[in-house]
Structure 1
Amino acid sequence: MMRRVLIVSPHFPPVNAPDCQRVRMALPHLREFGWDAHVLAVDPSGVEGFLDPDLARTLPAGQAVTRVPAVPAWLTRAVGFGGLWLRAGRRLAAAGAELLRRERFDLVFFSTTIFSAMKLGPRWLRRFGVPYVIDLQDPWVSDYYSRTGTPPPGGRLRYALAQWGARRAEPTVVRHAGHVATVSPAYADTLRARYPDVPAERYTVLPFAAAASDFQVVAERKIEHGLFDPADGLRHWVYLGRGGADLAPALRGLFGAFAAVRRSDARADRVRMHFVGTSYAKKGLARESVRPLARAAGLAAVVTEQTDRLPYLRGVSLLRAAGALLVVGSDDPSYSASKVYPYIMARRPLLAVLHENSPAAAVITACRAGEVVPFASGESTEALAARLAPALGRLLAATGTEPPTDWAAFAPYTAREMTRVLCRAFDSALPSPHRTGPR
């Protein structure tokens, strides 16, 4: 018998947000593993995100979705807040309760970085008896900003208030969850230490996946990225993803190394580095976080930064058109660079500058998809740049070629296989009589 899951994903295509990509990629495969999904989301008109109509075309035909309206952001910002949960949370709660009252669901799955939505899990469990699974794509409770002194997003006061609420809510949500998925082993380790009463088998590490179908859609629809001409005689190196102060150590090392290589290798004169989609801020309101570091290294003519995010499939097109790809990681060792998997699937030469404990580094190395230059916490820019310079020379030589990726080693990171693991987590959250055998 097909089991039914209510997926709570406030951001959902055509909204182009990082936290809805797991759900989007899983939906085409859920039925294969015994699950039928109904998605609960916020209507796109109420979301302050980038809309990408092509992204909606990657969803299964006839996908059941309930969308709720949100109070307009322009109205609430006049009184000092604009967060999606504050504008749409009550309607999401009411719509979810109505669905659970009216229809049969075996499970609720919360997949979002709007963590307040997860507080509905224990409430619905008490009221309807339906177990729930949570997907922690980022840490809910985190000491990263206080520990490192990095300015938090939204300012210190707002972040402090959010963390106060997180510390109150997370214990109940985690302890009552039927299963907890985390994108990074470090997140799971932190939760195990914080909640030793929660059985270890209730956690699953589930990195983000990559969908081959996305690349097929880009090819079939001839979607163009529109940022540069691949035939202009230049070597275009691309980084696609967020910026931020936590990337500064890796960026300083990268730019310092490239400045040195440029003085001795004429091939570097034709390189242009493109950093795209570096901010989540609304269009025109973002601050550059990459170009100032490039200017300090004397690379103002080499490095471009587009803070505005690209539509997802235009981003896939950009990866395919690049002469080479750059992965620049956080100085937080628990950070999981979700961009790694589509980078690998793009089949372009790849250089990754990642913390030595980053889980993404092991994936790239195991798949032979590129070269990883690791850095340690507190490592000097000069030391990192010295180790990066030879790798940049090899990237210059490889630009435009296809790496010898071990696709058998990459298979576990495809959307289908990640969905298989997700469905095992779903199954484990069910009361014993409803569980199926191992997949």
Structure 2
Amino acid sequence: MSLPYFKNFGWDVHVVTVNPVNSDLVKDELLYESIPDEIHVYQVNAFSKKWTAQIGLGSIALRSLWFYLRFINNLLAKQKFDLIYFSTTQFPICALGPYWKRRFHIPYIIDFQDPWHTDYYKHKPKSERPPKYWFSYRLNKFLEPIALKKVSGLIAVNQEYIDELVTRYPELADIPSSIIQFSTSQYDFEIAQKHQAAFTSFFKKNKKIKIVYVGAVGSIMKESIVKILKAFKSFIDNNSSFHENIELYFLGTSYSPNGKGVPSVAPLAQRLGIEKYVIEVTDRLTYYNAIQHVKNSDALLMAGSDDPNYIGSKIYNYLYTQKKIFSLLHSQSPANLILIKYKNVTLQNLEDNQAEIDDSFSRFIYSIANKLPEDYQYIFEALQMTKLQCSLFEKVISGI
């Protein structure tokens, strides 16, 4: 989202990414429309998953690591660069930072949009751990200190991420760092609007109230999803006038390739006897199709995990639409500090008892038709977040 704005602050940007043919995830060709013409974009190759899968290796970061090393070595040798900025959750790539800093004398920054090495799943049942957890846990534990030993600056969406890193690596307390939230770009909403006719709509063609959740669910969201569904059941049981007038949509709920996702919400709805109201689509939506569904909804759901550091980048696009939002997050989630500022958000904590959640959810549904105050202000514009990024960039390069 920052790419359209870097030039405003005097930065010429070169982006190196993996050729999308090497990924089996959902691709959104419209993302290219959000990249200004002056941005230099290069694509590197990756070892084919067709072959690496035979030894259990699917990670796009690991499959592309050698190609990143070779290409960027050539790029840095030919041109002068002031800074390397790692903005990805494919963290193994960041382990190349110390090598480039040593060889080319270029500082590097790592942006922690999620934790890298974490013990979050360590005490979870095996059934709730990600695939290949044993390997990825040890790989992350090995690579993180390599990348952070010589890092020049840190960005994170959450102060807790920085604090945890400083606890593990005390020397990081002496380098520049900044807490920069996710944001929303008006350009993205304009692109979605421009291409809306080309999107597949998962909404049923009726005039029912459509309340939408967009994003993966999985086991870490189960508690909040169950509580939301129970609250919905309580509302339906006590409000017969809504029996034929409301639907819940859970879209893009699986991380699996399209066509291979296993429903995680629909079975819960069936157990509660509310399956007629709940529509789940496991296939991932493209970014702009997700935006269009959020725009066309009547209201939105924000469900969280039991991880107190979970934020959820979707809240920024949610808030931008000015739709009514029902949020159920851990009481310590930093997202609550953001959401509580907005009058269109009904905020409950995951630890609240079910009766409180039921009552709050009922009030949320009845509030959907109410207009927002005219002084509604959205403060997480991408331009402002980019300004903060560039401010940190300047601090880092001035210290070299």
Range that drifts further, 387-396 or 252-261: 387-396
Structure 2 CA distance for partners of 1:405 and 1:291, relative to 1, 3 Å: farther
Q: Secondary structure at the match of 2:341?
A: helix
**Mapped contact 2:232–2:358 kept (Cα < 8 A):** yes
Residue 98 (1) aligns with residue 74 (2): yes
- Aligned match of 1:80: 56
- Aligned match of 2:383: 416
- What do the CA deviations read for 1:90-121 (whole angstroms, capped 9, x no partner)? 01111111111110100001111111100010
Residue 295 (1) aligns with residue 270 (2): yes
- Aligned match of 1:279: 254
**Structure 2: tracts of 5 or more residues without a match:** none
The 5-angstrom pairing of residues 222-237 of structure 1 reads 222-223=196-197, 224-229=199-204, 232-237=206-211
Give 1:373 deviation, angstroms: 0.7
Q: Secondary structure at the match of 2:13?
A: strand
Residue 89 (1) aligns with residue 65 (2): yes
Give 1:354 deviation, angstroms: 0.9
Structure 2 distance, partners of 1:375, 1:151, is: 22
Give 1:69 deviation, angstroms: 1.8
Give 1:214 deviation, angstroms: 1.3
Range that drifts further, 220-229 or 331-340: 220-229
Return the letter of the residue paired with 2:87.
Answer: S
- Aligned match of 2:112: 136
Q: Secondary structure at the match of 1:243?
A: coil
- Aligned match of 2:40: 64
- Provide the TM-score with structure 2 as the length reference: 0.94
Structure 1 distance, partners of 2:372, 2:275, is: 29
Structure 2 CA distance for partners of 1:266 and 1:200, relative to 1, 3 Å: farther
Structure 2 distance, partners of 1:356, 1:205, is: 20
- Aligned match of 2:145: 171
Give 1:208 deviation, angstroms: 1.4
- Aligned match of 1:363: 338
Give 1:415 deviation, angstroms: 0.8
- Provide the TM-score with structure 1 as the length reference: 0.86
**Mapped contact 1:110–1:132 kept (Cα < 8 A):** yes
1:45 corresponds to which of 21, 46, 67: 21
Structure 2 distance, partners of 1:125, 1:181, is: 18
**Mapped contact 2:209–2:298 kept (Cα < 8 A):** yes
- What do the CA deviations read for 1:366-423 (whole angstroms, capped 9, x no partner)? 13331111123xx6xxx2x211222222222233555338544x32x11111111111
- Aligned match of 2:373: 404
1:349 corresponds to which of 324, 327, 339: 324
Structure 2 CA distance for partners of 1:294 and 1:328, relative to 1, 3 Å: same
- Aligned match of 1:17: none
Range that drifts further, 177-186 or 93-102: 177-186
Range that drifts further, 235-244 or 86-95: 86-95
Q: Secondary structure at the match of 2:305?
A: coil
**Mapped contact 1:70–1:87 kept (Cα < 8 A):** yes
2:103 corresponds to which of 127, 134, 157: 127
Range that drifts further, 107-116 or 386-395: 386-395
Structure 2 distance, partners of 1:225, 1:74, is: 29
Residue 430 (1) aligns with residue 397 (2): yes
- What do the CA deviations read for 1:213-258 (whole angstroms, capped 9, x no partner)? 211222233344511256x121111000111111111111111111
Return the letter of the residue paired with 1:421.
Answer: L
Structure 2 CA distance for partners of 1:405 and 1:212, relative to 1, 3 Å: farther
Structure 1 distance, partners of 2:382, 2:273, is: 41
**Mapped contact 2:86–2:94 kept (Cα < 8 A):** yes
Structure 2 distance, partners of 1:66, 1:206, is: 26
Return the letter of the residue paired with 2:182.
Answer: F
Percent of residue pairs identical: 29
- Aligned match of 1:18: none
Range that drifts further, 102-111 or 75-84: 75-84
- Aligned match of 1:5: none
Structure 1 distance, partners of 2:370, 2:289, is: 21
Structure 2 CA distance for partners of 1:393 and 1:344, relative to 1, 3 Å: same
Range that drifts further, 35-44 or 360-369: 360-369
Residue 387 (1) aligns with residue 356 (2): yes
- What do the CA deviations read for 1:246-291 (whole angstroms, capped 9, x no partner)? 1111111111111111111124322211101111211122222222
**Mapped contact 1:185–1:334 kept (Cα < 8 A):** no
**Mapped contact 2:62–2:92 kept (Cα < 8 A):** no
Structure 2 CA distance for partners of 1:161 and 1:152, relative to 1, 3 Å: farther
**Structure 1: tracts of 5 or more residues without a match:** 1-24, 434-439
Moved >6 Å (runs of 4+): none
Give 1:339 deviation, angstroms: 0.4
Structure 1 distance, partners of 2:14, 2:226, is: 45
Structure 2 CA distance for partners of 1:416 and 1:264, relative to 1, 3 Å: same
Structure 2 distance, partners of 1:251, 1:219, is: 30
Structure 2 distance, partners of 1:26, 1:375, is: 32
- What do the CA deviations read for 1:320-348 (whole angstroms, capped 9, x no partner)? 11111000011100111110000011121
1:252 corresponds to which of 209, 226, 229: 226
- What do the CA deviations read for 1:44-68 (whole angstroms, capped 9, x no partner)? 1112221111221111124211111
Equivalent residue pairs, number: 398
